[in-house]
Amino acid sequence: MKEMNDTENYTDREWEELSSILSDEKNGNKDLFSRFMAEDRHKTIKYWKELKEMNIDKEIDIDKAWNKLYSRLDENGLITEAPVIRKSFIRNTYFRVAAIALLLVGMGSGLLYISDKGLISRKTTVATTDNQKNLQVTLPDGSNIYLNRNTKLSYMKDFNRHGRNVTLSGEAFFEIARDENNPFSVDAGNARVKVLGTSFNVITSNSDSAVEVFVKTGQVEVTDNDDTNNLILDPGFVGTVYPERSEKSVNTDPNYMAWNTGLLVYDGQTLDIVFRDLKRVYNMDIVADDLEILSNTWTSPIDNQSQETIIRIICASFNLSYTKDGNVYHLSGK
Amino acid sequence: MPGDSEIIRRIRQGDTGQFESLFRSSYVSLVRYARTLIKDHDTAEEIVQDLFFRIWKDRERLQIESSLNGYLYRAVHNRCLHYLNHIKVVEKYAREIAFNETENNETPDDILNYRDLQAKIAGILERLPEKCGKIFCMSRFEGLKYSEIAHKLSISVKTVEANMGRALKEFRKALAE
């Protein structure tokens, strides 16, 4: 066989497995690896590994590098805008958002800096897209917040100085560092959530514009906009603030926090409920071509498996087959 | 994240935020890549910073035909070679490699291969789709585990595996050429 073609000796699946073995991700199939090694005239294995190994000795400080580059650009007159407060991007998933939002919440204009491309505030905003969930944000006080899909969280840069306050739209789980002297509050739609140190989940994206708060640990106080309907919530309770009224109840859904944990548990629920949860938690679209399929019941847990695995287990359980159309799985009887 | 052409368009228009974001998301990978060719760490950092300085300075004339990722690696690669030629350290470098390699009982052939490797990688990155190339760089140059890459890019580990398989195939192909 000609050298140029020897990549055709392996299937795509085998290339995947080989790359996992060479990248030390898993042990994999020994025979496959031996065959590859025996044919490795071009030292693929050696170079693949070396690319990584020759580089691990020194830390690279991005902030320092950016500041150096920025100063150099500035010295050469290449930064034309008025001085703005530049802040670190913690990974590229953090976005700067124009200050329009700031105006909406009615903060003073003294905090705004004008630049040639618009307004940049001293506010930090973190947002997730449709494909992103569980983005972890660590606040200056050490509190952790996990954002679900399509969620936006913002807070002032000097957040610790004048009371701990953040603004949320979407859904997020909060783990708040305890500070008796400095309460933590969340402005969420038409509700405000106030705590000293606890963990809880907030949803503002419900279709009826109700704000929902679920408490995992500690105690949480929820008030509405005009401070008339106060709810005190203990662990396990869900409080809902509607525009006109508030109510609380004990949470009975074991999968309430599944978007964050990835774990779904069932005890004989029908597949339509399971599919609704899979959409919510794994962003997985499943369509049953025959509605009979949906009345089957399900009792096993689903715990962070890949979409492919999940759909295969479902098919095997009920003797179904599936086809994939774009991102949508279609189920039908065999 | 915006696509390549949108990022380029914004940078051409003078969007410093976009520029900073591109810098921050690709800097570590590019420096580590430069380090595979240039042994001196500080020089590797300077070369990458200088590239970004030029990109911003000449942003209005920025034309990128291939993928943005491919363009950046190709540019770093060319700058590294230019640097090596310019200060005439090529022989010194070769000796250094030869010295290091003798310890491992490598043949002189390997030394040539080793230097060609850089050119091959730049070529691979231009052939691979944008996301696949990015995943390859995160694994090989940033040293991230599949699960870390999956988390950073908000994709499944399975997708990382599939893309790495494709990258390895391309890598092997390029080594055979």
Cα A94 to Cα B81: distance, rounded to the nearest angstrom: 34
The residue ranking higher by pLDDT, A19 or B95, is A19
- pLDDT at position B94: 52
Residues A106-114, mean pLDDT to the nearest whole number:
32
What number of other Cβ atoms are within 10 A of residue A47's Cβ? Answer: 21
- How does pLDDT run across B9-52, given as a tens digit for each residue? 888 888 888 898 899 889 988 998 888 777 778 889 999 999 99
Task: Return the amino acid letter for A4.
Answer: M
Instruction: Pick the range with the lowest mean pLDDT from A193-202, A213-222, A302-311, B65-74.
Output: B65-74
Which of B161, B163, B166, B177 to probe by mutation at the A interface, max A CB count within 10 Å?
A: B161
B76 at A interface, C-beta within 8 A: no
Tell me the residue length of chain B: 177
Contacts of B152 in chain A (CB under 8 A): 91, 93
Across the range A187-198, mean pLDDT stands at 87
Would the pLDDT of A112 be above 50?
no
List of chain B residues whose C-beta atoms are within 8 Å of the C-beta of residue A58: 41
B28 touches chain A (CB under 8 A): yes
Distance CA B131, CA A199 (A): 36
pLDDT value of residue A214 = 94
Task: Please determine, for residue B170, whether its predicted confidence score (pLDDT) is greater than 70.
Answer: yes
Res B91: pLDDT: 56
Across the interface, whether the CB atoms of B156 and A307 are under 8 A apart is answered yes
Chain A: residue whose CA lies nearest to B117: A47
Task: Indicate yes or no: CB of A79 within 8 angstroms of CB of B16.
Answer: yes
Mean pLDDT lowest among A35-44, A98-107, A279-288, B77-86 = A98-107
On whether the CB atoms of residues B175 and A43 are closer than 8 A, the answer is yes
* Interface residue A12 vs chain B (CB under 8 A): yes
Q: Which residues of B touch A22 (CB under 8 A)?
A: 168
Whether residue B60 lies within 8 A of chain A, CB to CB, comes out as no
Smallest CA–CA distance from A56 into chain B, residue: B143
pTM surpassing 0.80?
no
Residue B96's pLDDT band, with cuts at 50, 70 and 90, is low
Give dist(CA A123, CA A154) in Å, integer.
Answer: 7
For residue A278, list chain B residues with Cβ-Cβ distance below 8 A: none
| Stretch B154-170: mean pLDDT | 89
Residue B45 touches chain A, beta carbons under 8 Å:
yes
CA A7 to chain centre: 37
- Is-contact A211 A225, C-beta < 8 A? no
Query: What is the 3-class SS of chain A, one letter each residue?
Result: CCHHHHHHHCCHHHHHHHHHHHCCCCCCCHHHHHHHHHCCCCCHHHHHHHHHHCCCCCCCCHHHHHHHHHHHHHHCCCCCCCCCCCCCCCCCCCCCCCCHHHHHCCCCHHHCEEECCEEECCEEEEECCCCCCCEEEECCCCCEEEECCCCEEEEECCCCCCCEEEEEECEEEEECCCCCCCCEEEEECCEEEEECCCEEEEECCCCCCCEEEEEEECCEEEEECCCCCCEEECCCEEEEECCCCEEEEECCCCCCCHHHHCEECCCCEEHHHHHHHHHHHHCCEEEECCHHHHHCEECCCEECCCHHHHHHHHHHHHCEEEEEECCEEEEEEC
Q: HEC profile for A234-277? A: CCCEEEEECCCCEEEEECCCCCCCHHHHCEECCCCEEHHHHHHH
B25 touches chain A (CB under 8 A): yes
ipTM rounded to 2 decimals: 0.72
Residue B1's pLDDT is what?
53
pLDDT > 80? residue B74: yes
Kindly tell me if the per-residue pLDDT of A331 is higher than 70.
yes
CB contact under 8 A, A4 and B175: no
Taking CA–CA distances from A16, the nearest residue in chain B reads: B165
Question: pLDDT grade, residue A103 (50/70/90)?
Answer: very low
Cβ separation B168–A18 shorter than 8 A? yes
pLDDT value for A120? 41
- CB distance from B14 to chain A under 8 Å? yes
Residue in A60, A86, A131 nearest the CB of B28: A60
Chain B residues in contact with A48 (beta carbon < 8 A): 140, 168, 171
Contact A12 B162 (CB under 8 A): yes
pLDDT at residue A106, as a whole number? 31
Whether pLDDT at A99 is above 70: no
What's the mean pLDDT in A233-238?
Answer: 91
* CB proximity A307 to B under 8 Å: yes
Count of A-B CB contacts under 8 Å = 143
What pLDDT, on a 0 to 100 scale, did the predictor assign at position B88? 53
The share of chain A scoring above pLDDT 90, in percent, equals 20
DSSP letter at B66 equals S
* pLDDT tens track for B111-156: 445 556 777 787 788 788 878 888 998 898 888 899 988 887 778 8
Which residue in B20, B68, B80, B152 has the most chain A C-beta atoms within 10 A of its own C-beta, making it the best mutation to test that interface?
B20
Mutate to test the interface with A, among B168, B170, B171, B175 (most CBs of A within 10 A): B168
Instruction: Provide mean pLDDT across the span A191-197.
Output: 87
CA angle A73, A79, A84 (to 5 degrees): 115
Alpha helical stretches, state H, B38-141: 41-57, 68-86, 90-103, 108-127, 130-140
Q: Tell me what the mean pLDDT of segment A255-278 comes to.
A: 90
pLDDT, mean of residues A180-199: 88
Higher per-residue confidence, A115 vs B109: B109
**Residues of A in Cβ contact (< 8 Å) with B20:** 66, 86, 89
